Structure 1
């Protein structure tokens, strides 16, 4: 990435601008703006998240917000209520209070003498969610948004459930937020940091059981799901996603349904696309400026005439869970859905053939440890977090293959499996992986999808399966853009287990397929249709690494107990911010264990430590979480401890069980 040090506008950087809300809650904002903004007001761009501007997102903030501010904007990075250096307490994600605060902050920004009155909102992940949700509420001053790695449906396409199946990231993210939100404000900014910290700890929720308890798409999930009414998104939306992330579907949904949406999907993990792997990275900040210039400054630069969808079509390559780069090319679709895509229907037939004309009667009952090569729900980097070689999981699956391809096959969109099936248990799910199988037998996951068969007819009104009776179901796989090479085979791999991506069914179910067709979105073919600008950013943060980090990811097989475990370790090290002296660090460990023959042997254990210090002041928090299940309930426990120096100043245990209504 090119570092830019000279900009059209010299800027100021206020580390702690206070925004006082109507109820007296004080939110802390870091604000970059041109030095002459008071005399020559500029539009404001808001990023509003719980991830701590003082240390958590600071490395990316300084690259992004200083760059945009230097081009004539006030960039405002706000710590949400109950997080970082702000007042208040946090109750849940995307609450009515959170969104009301966002609307109020936008109104406050528009009224400032240094603001032109036009406000944009941007963010990735949580910030990508709430900028869409805030736009849905239609605050008058909000003129445009940029949403990266987000969702339009909190039940169907977030970290809690997918296809009605319980994601293990539900527990993982519950542990993350228990840890992240347990940290205090910086004493250099808040004299009352200790009292604020203790109040924050006392109110800190462990949210994983609450999320797991809503096993249907009820009012809890409909809140904040902007797909409930796309017509309310009346401002221009630039939606960005990555094929290595599990939020890749949002872009297609928004471009198809929102009135003023454009989309870009690259090869990336869950990061902003000017820094994300796999490459190629793009000039995200230049694209953002083009968006803001058009919609916040009214500059006629033609952004409204950009292609509806720009997508990076991946090309066949060997599997690599830490791929730094993916071969491919950019295509540009003027309208979406693309008229260059047609549906090809391939039958799944007896003997594992995909595209034959025979009958089908296939029993799917797979071992519980299948899925160890799936990767993370939202991989962040190069620590083996992306899907690896699928061949070991394919061996355990029920697979259907095409003959070797004679010509390239381009796919763009979402594939669907149309099924007639029966099951021997009232609760079961089916996972499907669409794979590119090379002549050497290695297997690359192109896309995957899953369906809790209790949700075969409705996400809002699930029903237990009628045991032994044939039912219809449609399993939709994730969006994709992929070119298979000649000589490769296309494979659909089916399983009734997917560990540790999904929590297992209470009994090892057998699903029998009576008929199945795969509906493929086949693209007519393309060459390079868009050349992205190269990545740029402002100068990176000044810091000193005091202790290097390291990571590990391994599979452990206990040859006596027979259990198999995925172990993930990430020692983040410790780093000093040379601008204000705060030293921060974290350590994470996860263990996801199961027995191949026993779904009730599944157990997850997670540990997070956060460290902050400066001079004689030092605090840390320790959050642990565990989950297991029996035939009728999910069991979750957690513990949160806080230390000032070596002294324990807070400790709390959490323990809840959740009925297995449909999982």
Structure 2
């Protein structure tokens, strides 16, 4: 609670900042920065939450920008590329007349109280208290907005449902709205590898106990956010796989291990007592203006929540926006700060900066390297294009995608559990993936939902299906577009939770396969707007292991392995009009 001045943080706006536009002049700029470290925010049960507050150097009353998450924030404003540095750069906001408030949840870092399960209703209660506290501070004008990525984004719809009076808008980047379906059991199996990485990276004893002075953070930021930022970013991308392996071998604190055990081994349905309620199903209670951003590089993390929020929130049509961002994986996450500030200026200050003229949906088009615009997602003008799967001969051949129904037949692939050793040369006699291709003859753009419908058989009681869609350009280079997955024994569709972009699956309902008896699998791949040119090839791959089809975060794609398939088996896909993929064409 010292009143002394501190060294100034070095700001950063690395990464993409605007979704295909340039706004007019900001309402304020050049206001500088100062810091009020170690504020204690009283919540329930005598607990106080630790927060660092960042203010413009110019005295005044400003809107507060609250970022609330699960982590210790000691490293965040230093620009160190931890896996949770996703609050943006505070001096970027203070310079424009906003006051970031970066909060640690109860039981973490310098906050008091007992830690509860991640996303617990107690956290939402605390978040609402923080919003109320910030609005009442002498440096705040009574208005509060929210900003952040991942956990910092996922907490925003949950508290917006409560409608805190001071909350005027939020800007959420990369979110889930259904904790169970989108994160814990993506595609019907535990998100084991991601949980290992996330918990090992953020919740060790060292994460809880580390303390760093404001001046130390500022000094480090001069290096990480200064001329060396590009070097730091390059090293992170080159070493990210090694970093992930290190995180996976770490030991989190006991409470977090207990949460992990409950989620991974016990929470076989969403009704299990260790799984908190999610905002999905209650999004219609949200009325406040918002922007939600979905990074198109994500597969089994932060997928489908953005579309769910945009489609189902009750916010007026002219006060909500969806941005589908170019594929990228960066730490720290500094993207979208300028977009957020233009949005906040529009909502809070009525600035005539052009935000009210932005389309409700802006989406990055792979192959065109520009943003497109629409009034909804999928775009209302999009028409479904069905491409049937057909055999090309032997399993190892290149098979066919066809606009016409193909002849009856089938092909097979073998499913080998990840990490299980097999004889060398297995792929010469039993392939682990099948490939289907369509040569593009006329230019077209695909924008909207991507779904797969497979007539699937297996000689075991369960397996796993991973699907990937790619564009192969005229030079033979493959460009990653989209991925999807389903557990065949968990194939029941939750019609009430489906959106225009997602076929929602209730993986808590499991019906074992009857060996070699076909079943219908209907599931979503991630949206992937793309432009296809004559001579390009649209490629569809299916297999049973994520590591055979996914891309690496070091290449900008946030794909995590899944512990699949469960059995050694042979899987079959049947043709003759029984199996197809459907894409939206505009």
- Pairwise TM-score range, normalised by the shorter structure: 0.7 to 0.9
Q: Structure 2: how far apart are the matches of 1:418 and 1:62?
A: 39
Distance 2:471 2:457 in 1: 28
Q: Which residue of 2 aligns with 1:165?
A: 189
Q: 1:237 to 1:10 in 2, by over 3 A?
A: same
Aligned mates of 2:565, 2:46 — CA distance in 1: 47
Q: Distance in 1 between matches of 2:274 and 2:339?
A: 32
Q: Is 1:399–2:462 an aligned residue pair?
A: no
Partner of 2:309: 254
**Conserved 8 A contact 1:149-1:241:** yes
Residues 1:506 and 2:566 aligned together: yes
Distance 1:148 1:438 in 2: 30
Q: Is contact 1:216–1:462 with CA below 8 Å preserved after alignment?
A: no
Partner in structure 1 of residue 159 of structure 2: 134
The 10-residue stretch of structure 1 (48-57 or 65-74) with the greater mean CA deviation from structure 2: 48-57
Report what 1:292 is aligned to.
Answer: 344
1:435 aligned to 449, 452, 470, which one? 470
Contact 2:485/2:523, CA 8 A, preserved across alignment:
yes
Q: Compute the displacement of 1:113 (Å).
A: 2.4
CA distance in 2 between counterparts of 1:498 and 1:7 reads 47
Using the alignment, how far apart are the partners of 1:435 and 1:417 within structure 2?
A: 14
Structure 1 distance, partners of 2:356, 2:277, is 26
Q: CA deviation at 1:45?
A: 0.9
Cα distance in 2 for partners of 1:176, 1:19 equals: 26
Query: 1:214 is matched with which residue?
Result: 267
Counterpart secondary structure, 1:264: strand
- Over aligned residue pairs, what C-alpha RMSD do you find? 3.1
Quick one: which of 116, 120, 133 aligns to 1:95?
Answer: 120
The answer to whether structure 1 residue 333 and structure 2 residue 405 are counterparts is no
Q: Map of 1:18-167 to 2, 5 A cutoff?
A: 18-35=40-57, 37=59, 40-59=60-79, 64-158=89-183, 160-167=184-191
Among 438, 447, 459, the residue aligned to 1:424:
459
Distance in 2 (CA, whole Å) between partners of 1:139 and 1:256 is: 22
Whole-Å separation in 1 of the counterparts to 2:58 and 2:203: 41
1:108-507 pair list within 5 angstroms: 108-158=133-183, 160-167=184-191, 168-179=193-204, 182-186=207-211, 203-212=255-264, 213-218=266-271, 223-246=276-299, 247-260=302-315, 261-271=320-330, 275=334, 284-299=336-351, 301=353, 303-315=355-367, 328-351=369-392, 352-355=399-402, 356=404, 357-368=406-417, 396-402=432-438, 404-439=439-474, 441-458=476-493, 459=506, 460-499=508-547, 501-507=561-567
Distance 1:273 1:329 in 2: 24
Q: Distance in 2 between matches of 1:408 and 1:335?
A: 23
CA distance in 2, matches of 1:441, 1:70: 47
Secondary structure of residue in 2 paired with 1:53: coil
Q: For residues 173 and 55 of structure 1, do their structure 2 counterparts lie closer, same or farther at Cα, with a shift above 3 Å needed?
A: closer
Q: 1:267 to 1:90 in 2, by over 3 A?
A: same
What is the deviation of 1:292?
Answer: 1.4
Deviation at 1:310, TM superposition (A): 0.9
What is the CA–CA distance in structure 2 between the aligned matches of 1:258 and 1:222, rounded to whole Å?
A: 23
TM-score (ref. length: structure 2): 0.73
Unaligned runs of 5+ in 1: 190-199, 277-283, 316-326, 372-390, 524-663
Q: TM-score, normalised by structure 1?
A: 0.65
Secondary structure of the residue aligned to 1:335 is coil
More helix per residue: 1 or 2? 2
- Find the aligned partners of 1:114 and 1:411 in 2 and give their Cα distance: 48
Q: In 1, Cα distance between the equivalents of 2:73 and 2:263?
A: 27
Please state whether the residue corresponding to 2:208 is helix, strand or coil: coil
- Number of residue-to-residue matches in the alignment: 469
Change (3 A) 1:112 1:178: closer
- Contact 1:255–1:308 under 8 Å retained in 2: no
- Give CA-to-partner distance per residue, 1:498-534, whole Å, 9 cap, x none: 23712123321333223201111112xxxxxxxxxxx
How far apart in 2 are the matches of 1:430 and 1:511?
9
Which position in structure 1 is the counterpart of 2:552? none
Q: 2:478, 2:344 → 1: CA distance?
A: 42
Counterparts in 2 of 1:447 and 1:181: CA distance versus 1, 3 Å: farther
8 Å Cα contact 1:416/1:475 also seen in 2? yes
Report whether the alignment pairs 1:12 with 2:34.
yes
Q: What 5-or-longer segments of structure 2 have no aligned partner?
A: 1-11, 15-27, 80-84, 215-251, 393-398, 421-426, 494-505, 548-559
Q: Which residue of 2 aligns with 1:649?
A: none
Whose strand proportion is higher, 1 or 2? 1
- Give the direction of change, closer, same or farther, for the CA distance of 1:364–1:216 in structure 2 (3 Å limit): farther
**1:420-471 C-alpha deviation (Å, 9 max, x unpaired):** 2222222211111112234555433210100011221141423222333332
